[in-house]
Amino acid sequence: MQILPFKDHKPRPAVKDKKSLMKKGVFLCLLLPVIYILPAIAQIRTLTGKVTSDSSGAPLPGVTVRIKGSTYRIATGEDGTFSIPVGGAQELIFSMVGYANKQLKADAATTWLDVRLKPDQSRLSEVVVVGYGQQTQRYTTEAVSVLKSDVVENVPAITPQQLLQGQAAGVQMTNSSGLLGAASLLRIRGAASITAGGQPLFVVDGVPLSDGQYSTLYSGGAALNPLLELNPDDFESITILKDAAAAAIYGSRGSNGVVLIKTKRGATNSKTKVQLDYYTGWAKPTNTLKVLNADEYRNYYNDYITKVTGRPTVDFPAKGFDWADAVKRTGKTNNYSLSASGGNDKTKFYLGGSYLNQESFVIGNDLKKLTGRLNLEHSMSKRVHFGVNFTTAYTDMDRILVEGDLVAPFTAGYLNTPFTPAYTDDGQFADPANNALAVVGLNRNKYYTRRNTGNAYATINITDHLWIKSDWGIDQLQTEERYRRSEKITPGGAGGRTIWQDNKWLTTNSLNYEKNFTQDHHIELLAAHSFETARYDDIKVSGSGFTSDKLLNVGSASVPVTTSATGKEWALESYIFRANYRYKDKYMAEASFRRDGSSRFGSNKKYGDFWAVSAGWVISQEQFMRSADFINYLKLTASYGVTGNDRIGYYDYLALYTAGTDANYAGQPGLRPTQASNPNLGWESTGQLNIGLAANALDNRLQLNIDYYRKNSKDVLLYVAFPSTTGFGYGTKNSGKMQNNGVDLQITGVVVKNKDFEWTTSLNAGYLKNIVTQLPSDTRDEEGRNFIIGSYNGQRAIQGYSLNSFYLIRYKGINAETGDPEWYTKDGKATTAPTSNDQVIAGSALPKFTGGFNNTFRYKHFDLGINFYFSTGNKVMLSEFQYLDNPTYGLNVSKDLLNYWKQPGDKAFAPSATSASWSSQNNIAQVSTAQLFDGSYLRLKTLTLGYNLPAALLSNTHVLNSARVYVLGQNLWTATKKGFRGADPEVSGYGSNGQVAGESFFSLPQPKTITIGVNLVF
């Protein structure tokens, strides 16, 4: 293609100097980039500003400032100011743990920014309750787990301790049974005690609750459930103090952990909010035992039992009676809870009340509970504040007399044969004394509690940084047991009444100091004195010989049987100190000391010292962590401390005497000694090391907490046999050591979060290894190991092994060739005649792993919660199979016995009918591992589907502010290990007695419930 010149175009002269042209080209190549860069350089400017707290206006040092889309970042200085080079219009992101992220756009003309960050309502910024105070979770150096009110509200619970199950790592919660009002076995980081009290200390608004035993007739829930009279709808939070740094402030009662319950408060300058919560539900057992029905029993009896026992065949009726169905029903629950809260600039209040009516799925077990609460706070002036927290409760229970007794409904429902008559031909109870339906229908077994708990306090601010607080608390408990036996069951009738009163008073006076020094140093100091005392009284009366069953009062008895009254009291004096120090919000340290004097101990060991030290390092605040932009928060903590335990009898250290007929001498009244003096009886103590790591990542959407701990208990309080030379049988002394090692893991993640949909998931898991390292040598097994008997079912504490070890003969099974049952000798050989010398350690009732897996989904106005609980690595002893696997008792038996040996080669469950084992003690029903099962399980604890009514719809009512309806299922599905034969793997038939864990004798399984509820806020 030819290019034509313009009309006036003239040819240029030829270039004469090529070197000169090359120099000019190089110059242009260097100049062009500069020409392009110069405008950009001209736009680069220094953007400065200041970041402050939106709530307080205080400058915020250490805030990360970065340009969106860039890895470049800087941090604000001590005065909250920053300076960052930017070019043109840019978007800047400001972030700091404890505050919500903020994104601002700076146009090309902006040179200064005022930035105010709002406190973040995330976990790190939350204020958590600790002993005698509170701390921001970001700065705490203690190992604590916190459950907020949304976890515990509107969840039907047999016992409020159930609310902790699967919610916190290192917390093992085992229901004793499905019995209403039954105490649970709750352990925080394993057992620190053996025969002394092993429950955690429960503290409600600063008042430690009494947890003694106030029953003589009933099993399962024999020990008081300390939380029975509380209404979970009143709970604002539950804080679990796990390590010594957290629990040592409670000194003598912190070894087994502390559970702090804070109830709801009003709000300053808030319109009165009225909330109504109601739910109703239905329950049935999670599972049942498999026993023979009428047809099966008829054939089994005539084909097998007759050969086993030599009895003649029986022509049974055509139709039998379903006892298992007769003692069960559809359980029902109705709960009403009404509260009001609010306040002005001086006064805040919370007023709540509830009524609960529960019927168990087994007859004879009902619970009614009425509670009321008032929390009031008032500021008289800028310097003087006071408040009152008070709750009152009343419960009315129909209880099952001795849950595992042969005439208890659940027990009799499975042991009575299908042809055991329930009624006579004229409709009366057949054999009333041995008829569970008659026992429930004709007898009266009542249990009442009346409880008032609360405190009043006053705070006086001497200066802005120094204040004093005085707190007075009470826990007044009265329980009452009434029984009345019908003359159709007990000839002449019988009755009894027992009243227990346990009244506690305590006062705590403290001096508190808190101040920031410059921008770097923060200090908090606490000094306090506490005095706590309680008086216990009981009075018991019983009688027999009633003219009519309509006369219910024991005063109507013609023959008085027993009358007794006792009284006891104890006291605890404490001196408490704590100091917290924080430097640049990066380095934290805490120390606490408590000196306790308990009236339960001898004069030489009355006072004990308990202390803890801890430290924390917020690594994410260091400069070298700035480049790790995916980590928002990283904290390392370490602590060590010593806690104690004094939960023994009131006067175990004293030389005691008794009077009465057995103390008379030569016809004259006298005294006889019943207990040896022990002035050196002193404190049980537990030292605990804890190392923890907490991390938030991915814009705080992922949270991780992991703790390693080691607990060593020494001078363990044991109730043990005394040498016969002393003249006394048993007594309490300090003699034993035990160790718990474990790891707690908690992971929470926000998987999805957008405008309409949010998915949050969490996993908590606790690993525990327990070992009894020292026991007294008074009793030794065949191997020469020191041990303490826990139960007659083979559970014991053995030196060198777990606290809850099973010591049993190992069952092998049925010999396929001979049809005889076989066991293992101690050295592992098969035998048909085992002896007690063949017992070995066969496992432990302590789980190795426990935890929960929880998921919450929210889509627009819908919410879905799915919560699982798991426990693994433990054994359970189900003693009911000593009866259900034995056809010689004349009772009903397990369906498994239908698989009995008939000919060589049979792989049978039961022996041959002609086996010699049936005529001796060596049958499959003797105590052995035949009744021991793997107690591992995975359970769907709760499944909740809720719907929140739209605000636009509610606004038309002009009354409702919010409304939610929901349906909730509990214990809907349970997976157990193959071969598990029981009704429920979650058993602890001795309630809170930690020395006998994981055992059952026809304990009620947990209920499977469906609940429908509504929450209305006005």
pLDDT (tens digit per residue) in 946-991:
999 988 888 888 888 889 999 999 999 999 999 999 999 998 877 6
The pLDDT assigned to 195 comes to: 84
d(CA 343, CA 377): 9
The pLDDT assigned to 382 comes to: 87
**Least confident window among 194-198, 261-265, 488-492, 538-542:** 194-198
The residue that leads in pLDDT, 350 or 790, is 350
Residue-averaged pLDDT of the chain: 87
The pLDDT assigned to 267 comes to: 87
Residue identified by tokens 């041995």 is: 434
**Least confident window among 673-682, 846-855, 886-895:** 673-682
Q: What is the pLDDT of residues 16-43, one digit of tens each?
A: 454 444 444 444 443 444 443 344 444 5
Q: Which helix (H) or strand (E) holds 306?
A: helix 306-309
Which residue in 285, 283, 313, 279 sits closest to 298, CA to CA? Answer: 313
pLDDT surpasses 90 at 61: no
Query: What are the beta bridge partners of residue 581?
Result: 523, 589
d(CA 803, CA 460): 48
The pLDDT assigned to 98 comes to: 65
The pLDDT assigned to 278 comes to: 95
pLDDT > 70 fraction of the chain, expressed in percent and rounded = 92
In this structure, what is the dihedral angle of CA atoms 621, 626, 632, 636, given to the nearest 10 degrees? -40
Rounded average pLDDT over 52-73: 76
Which residue in 333, 331, 335 sits closest to 363, CA to CA? Answer: 331
Confidence grade of residue 789 (pLDDT, cut at 50, 70, 90): confident
d(CA 255, CA 251): 8
Helix, strand or coil for residue 14? coil
Q: For residue 788, what are its two tokens?
A: 């303490």
Q: What is the DSSP string of 824-876?
A: E-TTS-EESS--GGG-EEEEESS-SEEEEEEEEEEETTEEEEEEEEEEES-EE
Report yes or no: 116 and 54 within 8 Å, Cβ to Cβ. Answer: yes
pLDDT surpasses 80 at 192: yes
pLDDT surpasses 90 at 887: yes
Rounded average pLDDT over 337-364: 94
d(CA 823, CA 244): 46
pLDDT surpasses 90 at 519: no
pLDDT surpasses 90 at 753: no
Q: What is the pLDDT of residues 129-180, one digit of tens each?
A: 888 888 888 889 999 988 887 776 667 665 677 788 888 898 988 877 777 8
Q: Where are the beta strands (DSSP E) in 286-344?
A: 331-343
Q: What is the pLDDT of residues 702-732, one digit of tens each?
A: 999 999 999 999 999 988 877 777 777 788 8
Q: What is the pLDDT of residues 541-593, one digit of tens each?
A: 999 999 998 999 998 999 988 788 889 999 999 999 999 999 988 999 999 99
Residue identified by tokens 């003598």 is: 252
The pLDDT assigned to 439 comes to: 92
The pLDDT assigned to 15 comes to: 41
The pLDDT assigned to 134 comes to: 84
d(CA 646, CA 845): 25
Cβ-proximal residues to 700 (8 Å cutoff; 6+ apart), any chain: 97, 120, 122, 124, 632, 633
Q: What is the pLDDT of residues 72-108, one digit of tens each?
A: 678 788 788 998 888 788 888 888 766 778 888 888 8
Q: What is the pLDDT of residues 836-870, one digit of tens each?
A: 999 999 999 999 999 999 999 999 899 999 999 99
Cβ-proximal residues to 666 (8 Å cutoff; 6+ apart), any chain: none
Report yes or no: 851 and 766 within 8 Å, Cβ to Cβ. Answer: yes
pLDDT surpasses 70 at 14: no
Task: Return phi, psi of residue 212, to 5°.
Answer: -80, -170
Confidence grade of residue 517 (pLDDT, cut at 50, 70, 90): confident
**Least confident window among 114-118, 500-504, 592-596:** 114-118
Q: Which helix (H) or strand (E) holds 440?
A: helix 436-442
Q: What is the pLDDT of residues 228-256, one digit of tens each?
A: 889 988 998 899 999 999 998 987 788 88
Task: Return phi, psi of residue 387, to 5°.
Answer: -160, 165
Q: Are strands 112-117 and 44-53 parallel, antiparallel or unpaired?
A: parallel
The pLDDT assigned to 994 comes to: 75
Q: What is the pLDDT of residues 398-442, one digit of tens each?
A: 887 666 678 889 999 999 999 999 999 999 999 999 999 999 999
Q: For residue 767, what are its two tokens?
A: 């690993």
* DSSP class of 28: H
Q: Which helix (H) or strand (E) holds 294?
A: helix 294-300
Cβ-proximal residues to 919 (8 Å cutoff; 6+ apart), any chain: none
d(CA 792, CA 960): 59
d(CA 473, CA 31): 85
- For the chain, give the number of residues: 1018
pLDDT surpasses 60 at 10: no
Looking at residue 565, its amino acid is A
Q: What is the pTM of this model?
A: 0.85
Q: Are strands 932-934 and 962-976 parallel, antiparallel or unpaired?
A: unpaired
pLDDT > 90 fraction of the chain, expressed in percent and rounded = 59
**Least confident window among 64-68, 217-221, 275-279, 674-678:** 217-221
Report yes or no: 588 and 137 within 8 Å, Cβ to Cβ. Answer: no
Number of H helices, E strands in the chain: 10, 52
d(CA 807, CA 232): 40
Task: Count other C-beta atoms under 10 Å from residue 83's C-beta.
Answer: 12
